[in-house]
Amino acid sequence: MNTENKEMRIAVLIDAENVASKYIDIVLSEANALGNIIIKRIYGDWTSPQMSSWRPVILDSSVQPIQQYSNVSGKNSSDSALIIDAMDLLYQGRLDGFCIVSSDSDFTRLAARLRESEMYVLGMGEQKTPKSFISACNKFSYIDLLYNASLTERRTVKGEERTETGEKSADGVRLKAIRAALIRIAEENSDDDGWIASSLLGNVLNKQYPDFDVRNFRYKKFVQFIESLQLFESRRQSLNVYFRLKEPRQ
């Protein structure tokens, strides 16, 4: 799929039975940053009292609710409806990517199938999301971390004290592992003088860790995050930033 010369057309499909309504602003913001949202659908049994918090959110956000009755107790009824709709939308040929919002591993095969058809897949869910679903996506965002970060930012704007996150982020994305990956990527992809463009460094890292996001470490820019690690020296050339490992590994 070539997305360099056009804005991506995105379908946002939300599993309401596995996602809290408080995350809706984060979900739509992330999807809007990816491209133009053509379709917004949310799946659940709207006769259930557990769905009551979603009803005002659906109206305010102009998301189309899809009714799926729970025929079996304890079984998520939304999964099959969301999967069928996703495949229908795929074959219509109008989209460039999908945003699948759930913390459920049942969508792992769907994400993989969409990517086989050259669709871009952005997954969103909480930190409890199984690794299989995360790895099946091109990119995965932890909506609970982004939500908490947005709350912290609001408190900071109001003059309240900012809390520190320490060196660990979401499960599976540890700072130690990220540092090791960055060193390996730089060694394998740098030029003869040891320099690597920040864009290449970030692209390769995201392929290896789909759930990596600098915002999970309280940074807004990738370059700022890399500089904070103190692993690289940097140089700027026009609008580009290049990095080189400070010391060769022994």
**Residue 141 burial (C-beta neighbours within 10 Å; 0-12, 13-18, 19+):** buried
For the four alpha carbons of 65, 1, 5 and 30, in that order, the dihedral sign comes to positive
Overall fold of domain 175-245:
Nucleotidyltransferase; domain 5 (3.30.420)
Work out whether strand 196-197 and strand 240-245 pair parallel, antiparallel, or are unpaired. antiparallel
Query: DSSP for 47-66?
Result: TSGGGTTHHHHHHHHTPEEE
- CATH code of the domain occupying 9-151: 3.40.50.1010
Amino acid letter, residue 190: S
pTM as predicted:
0.74
Domain ranges for the chain: 9-151, 175-245
**What is the pLDDT tens value at each position of the chain, 250 positions in all?**
444 446 899 999 999 989 999 999 999 989 988 889 999 999 999 988 888 999 999 988 999 999 987 765 555 567 889 999 999 999 999 999 999 999 989 999 999 999 999 999 999 999 999 999 999 999 999 999 998 887 876 655 455 444 434 444 443 347 888 888 899 899 889 999 999 999 999 988 988 888 888 888 888 899 999 999 999 999 998 888 999 998 755 5
